[in-house]
Structure 1
Amino acid sequence: MTARPTPGDLLRIDGRASVQFAGGRALTLRVVSVSERHAYDGWIWLTGYVIDGRGNAIAKREVYVQLAGLRPASVAASRGRVRGAIRADRGHSSPRRESGVSSC
């Protein structure tokens, strides 16, 4: 994908987008926002919700990825809904924010 993602896009983020998501660390992300902050040419900051296999949002993440490595995710993952009380059973009222960025 070379086009800039937009809020609502469902993306598969794996090792093609960034080495930190290689192998079993790949994820499906529903884009919430695309940052305007400075990034290296061909790279972008995205904020969104990680979507599980049932289509439910399980965590909010901010990731730094290569545009050329982004792929559309399967439609099956988009059938769920984002729930505000995802972690209510653990005492949290909303998905926790995790940074998907590793230091260079």
Structure 2
Amino acid sequence: MTAHPSPGDLLVIDSRASVQFAGDRALTFRAVSVSDQPTYQGWVWLTGYVINRRGNATTKREIFVQLAGLRPATTPASPSRDGRSLRPRAAH
């Protein structure tokens, strides 16, 4: 992804985006805002939420990442109103 991400984008943040997210520090991130502040060429500040495997937002963060290293994430299951994950049931 070389274009600027948009609010609402679900992204994989790993070592391709910044060395600080290498290995087990990689995360799935829902962008809520993209800073328009000037920065180094090819880098951007993103504000958003870390998304867990159940699709729930767990922590709000501001991160500094390389645009060329951002990748769209597969959509995790949507959380229900009570916080449980909504997963399709298997057909029997």
TM-score bin (small chain): 0.7 to 0.9
Give the root-mean-square deviation of aligned CA atoms.
Answer: 1.7
CA contact (8 A) 1:56 1:82 kept: no
The TM-score normalised by the length of structure 2 is 0.83
Assess, with a 3 A threshold, how the Cα gap between structure 1 residues 82 and 56 changes in structure 2: closer, same or farther.
farther
Number of residue pairs matched by the alignment: 82
CA contact (8 A) 1:18 1:65 kept: yes
Whichever of the two has the greater Rg, that structure is 2
Name 1:69's counterpart in structure 2.
69
Identity across the alignment (%): 66
Structure with greater strand share of residues: 2
Structure 1 runs of 4+ aligned residues shifted over 6 Å read none
For structure 1, list consecutive stretches of 5 or more residues without a partner in the other structure. 84-104
Deviations 1:45-85 (A, max 9, x none): 0000100000000000000000000010111x2623699xx
The TM-score normalised by the length of structure 1 is 0.74
